[in-house]
Amino acid sequence: MILMKLKPLALLAAILALNPPALHAADDPLAWPAITAQCRPWAYWWWMGSAVDKTNITRELTRYHDAGLGGVHIIPIYGAKGFESNYISYLSPKWMEMMSWSVTEAKRLGMGVDMTTGTGWCFGGPQVTDEEANASVVVKTYELATGEKLKQKFDRKTTQALVAFGPDGKSIELTTKISAAGEVDFTAPAGAWTVYAISQKPSPQKVKRPAPGGEGWMLNLLSPAAMTNYLKWFSGAFDGYSGALPRAQYHDSYEYKSDWSPEFFAQFEKRRGYRLQTELPALFTAPKRSEGGFGTNSTDDHALRVLCDYRQTVSDIMVEETLPQWVKWSHDHGFITRNEAHGSPGNLLDLYAAADIPETEFFSKKHNPLVSKFASSAAHVTGKNLVSSESCTWLAEHFTETLAEVKGVMDELFLSGVNHAFYHGCCYSPDEAGWPGWHFYAATEMNPRNSIWRDAPAINDYIARVQSVLQSGRPDNDILLYWPISDYWSSTNASARAPQFQVEAAAQRVWFENQPIGRTAKELWEHGYQFDYVSDAQLKTAKVADRDIQMPGGKYKSILVPECKYIPLETFKNLIALAENGATVSFEKQMPTDVSGESNLEGQRAGFKETSKKIKFGHLTSNLGTWPFASVGRGSISVEDLISRLSSERIKQTCFIRRSFDGGWNYFIANRTEKNFDGWFAIWFALGDSHPQSVAILDPMTGATGVAAIRQNGANRMEVHLQLAAGESVILRAFAEKNVEGPAWNYWQTNGQPVEITSPWNVKFIAGGPTLPADFQTAKLASWTTFPDTNCQAFAGTAKYETTFNAPRRDELHESQNQESKSGTRGVRPSDSFYLNLGDVRQSARVRVNGKDYGTLITPPFRVVVDNLKPAGNTLEVEVTSTDANRIRDLDRRGVKWKTFRDINFVDINYKPFDASRWPLTDCGLLGPVTLAPVSVAR
């Protein structure tokens, strides 16, 4: 009884954590929201062989906490060789004890813990039978002439359908005629006949990278019965469990290979209203291309409609049955859920929305934030506060990743709507494993053994500040962008029978970038429009109030439908009904011309035609052109060439995402270009007719805040002065009615030429390995790999550079200011402040001047404003930390056996055996030049 009471309480606490208190205009306008564990970055935490122990668990969690992580996600995987005696079988009493210890220790440290519902990925394991495994349909055909008998034998248990098709399309059901001996009494009538035999087999896909006790088939997500049985495995472990519970259960990206299930025929008939057994030639014979393209004759059109219905059924089974089973089981046992839907052949928006926390993924540097918006859109539209991300997967080659690269990825994820980031990740490694320890092959090495870990608190604090803002308030997007997935399912652009919506660059180009949805989304994104994707099912929940489209997660100004030919009748009716109730609905280039699918086609087309009669188009003319326009009820419908219009309507903006709070709006803005920006940023178009009274600037990298300079532009709209170097980012907090009082934001302007610091440098290696090189003095900055001590070539870690210098002379400073004044610079106040620019830094730096800490610099430009220089005898200390590239290179050159892991062992970014022995030396340290440039605050 105690256990049954605790689990609902744990779930309640987890759900409450998903919706933190909202920010209000009455709060301190220059203060950051409270930083919680949920605001901080979390990390995938791989347990190799589950060979964990309490001592090392506590050590590792303490290190993670001290570096600024907010939580971990336990994923058991294959083990390290030589530690077999320490392996722990998944879900065994010992494993559950270690999990409980981890959760308890994490809570003591103020951290959280999630877990995968399985090992490795995806769902699956030893309990999954051949019948429950992810399955491939097996299609066998037999050609019979007039009067020819069917001689083949069939297994009654495994043959799901046996149907003969004649020349006129007539079909004869033979499944029930299979005898106990496997024989079928069938003689072909007149004409050529084809007999289709349908069965299934397990696809080759087994659980990837499984841990001990988790090996076996991947599960079939097209089989509700398989999911029911799979969850019994976990009920057996948790129903009698009294230890500490993780926060969430997790489902990894869809890497199943499944297009069939034992229940598929029954599911199809239940959902589509006709028997798929009578349409086997249409489903399993690819439509032929004619001169006019696919679907231009009745045969092709019919086949594509059946194929669309098949694909819709695949999606419906997962969206409505298998995933909800997992979510319900998790809730019943005290967990919330995180789900990666990408890779699935189902509707991503509905699958993401099935979980409490939709999760996206950035794979390598070739990613598209607009694809990640599918996860955030699902959250925004359905009212879920958190959007998580598998971050930095295969970001760069092992041991070469930099904190600057991590920030770049995180900024793009934030722009796409993510507010709960998970590093991919860190691997549990016992201290006795030594350096480099245990490693998972597809990770950014975000762990305490990596040299970049020393300065990781800077990026972790940055992420925490950004996410504290993005987790507060509400999404505030203007447009619902409909995903015409049925149009895609009705085409042969989707080459596979069950096409998977993957995030990898080449795959998403097919289903997204090269489709109308991708082209329209790109134009909206690049022109500063805030939008969320919406699915057919989600549109069913839409209502209209005061001409706004009200979704469970918030309000939108309009609905935009990308160019499409086919659309479900129910969706078409919903769109027209929303317009009748006051909504603004726009169609890109053309109205849909037909319904999708084969089910009740005649009746569906009649309904489509009848609904279309409600639209009486005229034309609307403005300075932007003329386009079809119809008033429908209290709303309107228009047909526009949006992409062409946007290309001339607005200048492309710096990337941003907006959230609202009571009394204002928060903007996260990132300069993702290669050029510095110093100018005025327009926020008027996002706010409609609202005019903010004041704006605060918050710098998430340093924590600094101040009141922004604002102005009304020529169109009487609000603009904010921003200074963003390439790669920099900032938070704007705009208030609708409140005048913010406080210190003004400093806009720095150089008023003199930079002067290089040329005094000699003392270099001391203070942390790292394998051996600390000897101290060194140099008059010229260069990579430490060129220093006399040859140990420098193998070294990775931190070196402290120290020099004493004099400040630029006063007469030089005033002379440069006079020159600026003569050149026409106005509104600049003289100052004793300087830009200290470190030049080329490999890869991060901590800066102190005359004992004052100026923070940690992790991205170019490596510069900071210093304000405490003396005329002479200034001390500058710069602690520079490198990547581990040269150290791992040395290890491989010496033939040290450290890649001792089972399964795939350790591969490089191209999935080849990892070998750094032939790498060139990587530059490390402070390369400079280090300069001082006088700056003043522009007023």
pLDDT grade for 828, boundaries at 50, 70 and 90: very low
Q: How many CB atoms lie within 10 A of CB 332?
A: 14
Identify the pLDDT of residue 653: 52
Identify the pLDDT of residue 295: 37
User: Tokens 């097209």 belong to which residue?
Assistant: 222
What is the rounded distance in angstroms from the CA atom of residue 428 to the CA atom of residue 681? 45
Identify the pLDDT of residue 824: 34
pLDDT grade for 621, boundaries at 50, 70 and 90: confident
Q: How far is CA 99 from the centre of its chain?
A: 27
Lowest-confidence segment of 170-184, 504-518, 519-533, 633-647 by average pLDDT:
633-647
pLDDT for 735-792, tens place per residue? 998 999 999 999 999 999 999 999 999 999 999 999 999 999 999 999 999 999 999 9
Q: What is the overall mean pLDDT for the chain?
A: 92
Q: Which of 912, 758, 750, 906 is nearest to 830 (CA)?
A: 750
On the question of pLDDT at 822 being above 60, the answer is no
Identify the pLDDT of residue 368: 92
On the question of pLDDT at 545 being above 90, the answer is yes
- Count Cα atoms within 13 angstroms, Cβ side, for 339: 30
Name residue 62's amino acid: T
Task: Look at 827 and 460; give whichever has higher pLDDT.
Answer: 460
Identify the pLDDT of residue 296: 38
pLDDT for 312-321, tens place per residue? 999 999 999 9
pLDDT for 73-84, tens place per residue? 999 999 999 999
pLDDT grade for 884, boundaries at 50, 70 and 90: very high
User: Tokens 């991590």 belong to which residue?
Assistant: 406
On the question of pLDDT at 22 being above 80, the answer is no
Task: Look at 868 and 13; give whichever has higher pLDDT.
Answer: 868
Identify the pLDDT of residue 264: 98
pLDDT for 562-592, tens place per residue? 999 999 999 999 999 999 999 999 999 999 9
Q: Which of 371, 349, 405, 391 is nearest to 504 (CA)?
A: 371
pLDDT for 156-205, tens place per residue? 999 999 999 999 889 999 999 999 999 999 999 999 999 999 999 999 99
In this prediction, residues 374-387 reach a mean pLDDT of 98
On the question of pLDDT at 500 being above 60, the answer is yes
Q: Which two tokens stand for residue 178?
A: 């299979």
What is the rounded distance in angstroms from the CA atom of residue 574 to the CA atom of residue 577? 5
Task: Name the pTM for this structure.
Answer: 0.94
Identify the pLDDT of residue 11: 57
Beta carbons of 481 and 532 less than 8 angstroms apart: yes
pLDDT for 406-421, tens place per residue? 999 999 999 999 999 9
Q: Which two tokens stand for residue 441?
A: 């092959």
User: Phi/psi of residue 667, each to 5°?
Assistant: -120, 130
Q: Please state the length of the chain.
A: 939
Ramachandran bin of 75, using left for φ above 0, alpha for ψ from -120 to 50, beta for the remaining angles: beta
Residue 69 Cα distances to 66, 87, 106, 648, angstroms: 8, 27, 11, 45
Cβ burial, residue 374 (10 Å; 0-12/13-18/19+): buried
The C-alpha angle 289, 294, 298, rounded to 5 degrees, equals: 100
pLDDT grade for 825, boundaries at 50, 70 and 90: very low
Lowest-confidence segment of 556-560, 598-602, 603-607, 688-692 by average pLDDT:
688-692
pLDDT grade for 3, boundaries at 50, 70 and 90: very low
Beta carbons of 576 and 614 less than 8 angstroms apart: yes
Indicate the helix (H) or strand (E) that contains 656. strand 655-661
- Beta bridge pairs of residue 771: none
On the question of pLDDT at 817 being above 80, the answer is no
Listing DSSP states for 441-510 in one string gives TTS---STTSGGGGGHHHHHHHHHHHHHHHTSSEE---EEEE--HHHHHTSTTS-SSS-----SHHHHII
Name residue 279's amino acid: E
In this prediction, residues 109-120 reach a mean pLDDT of 98
Beta carbons of 880 and 855 less than 8 angstroms apart: no
Identify the pLDDT of residue 20: 57
What is the rounded distance in angstroms from the CA atom of residue 917 to the CA atom of residue 890? 7
Beta carbons of 753 and 892 less than 8 angstroms apart: no
What is the rounded distance in angstroms from the CA atom of residue 124 to the CA atom of residue 89? 15
Identify the pLDDT of residue 553: 97
In this prediction, residues 678-697 reach a mean pLDDT of 76
What is the rounded distance in angstroms from the CA atom of residue 759 to the CA atom of residue 448? 35
Cβ burial, residue 157 (10 Å; 0-12/13-18/19+): exposed
Q: What is the gyration radius of the CA atoms in the chain, in angstroms?
A: 31
What is the rounded distance in angstroms from the CA atom of residue 125 to the CA atom of residue 123? 7
On the question of pLDDT at 799 being above 90, the answer is yes
Identify the pLDDT of residue 90: 98
On the question of pLDDT at 335 being above 50, the answer is yes
On the question of pLDDT at 259 being above 50, the answer is yes
Identify the pLDDT of residue 367: 83
On the question of pLDDT at 650 being above 50, the answer is no
What is the rounded distance in angstroms from the CA atom of residue 161 to the CA atom of residue 140? 11
Beta carbons of 787 and 772 less than 8 angstroms apart: no
Q: Which of 799, 803, 795, 802 is nearest to 766 (CA)?
A: 799
What is the rounded distance in angstroms from the CA atom of residue 470 to the CA atom of residue 659? 7
pLDDT grade for 908, boundaries at 50, 70 and 90: very high
b/e map 239-275, b = 16+ CB within 10 Å: eebeebbbbbbbbbbbbbebbbbbbbbebbeeebeee
What is the rounded distance in angstroms from the CA atom of residue 575 to the CA atom of residue 910? 46
In this prediction, residues 646-668 reach a mean pLDDT of 77
Identify the pLDDT of residue 10: 55
What is the rounded distance in angstroms from the CA atom of residue 567 to the CA atom of residue 587? 12
Identify the pLDDT of residue 298: 55
Q: Which of 197, 212, 199, 133 is nearest to 165 (CA)?
A: 197
Share of the chain above pLDDT 70, in %: 91
What is the rounded distance in angstroms from the CA atom of residue 65 to the CA atom of residue 149? 73
Three state DSSP letters for 27-92? CCCCCCCCCCCCCCCEEEEEEECCCCCHHHHHHHHHHHHHHCCCEEEEEEECCECCCHHHCCCCCC
What is the rounded distance in angstroms from the CA atom of residue 152 to the CA atom of residue 383? 56
Beta carbons of 249 and 74 less than 8 angstroms apart: no
On the question of pLDDT at 793 being above 80, the answer is yes
Ramachandran bin of 727, using left for φ above 0, alpha for ψ from -120 to 50, beta for the remaining angles: left
- Beta bridge pairs of residue 636: 584, 631
Handedness of CA 929, 930, 931, 936 (dihedral sign): positive
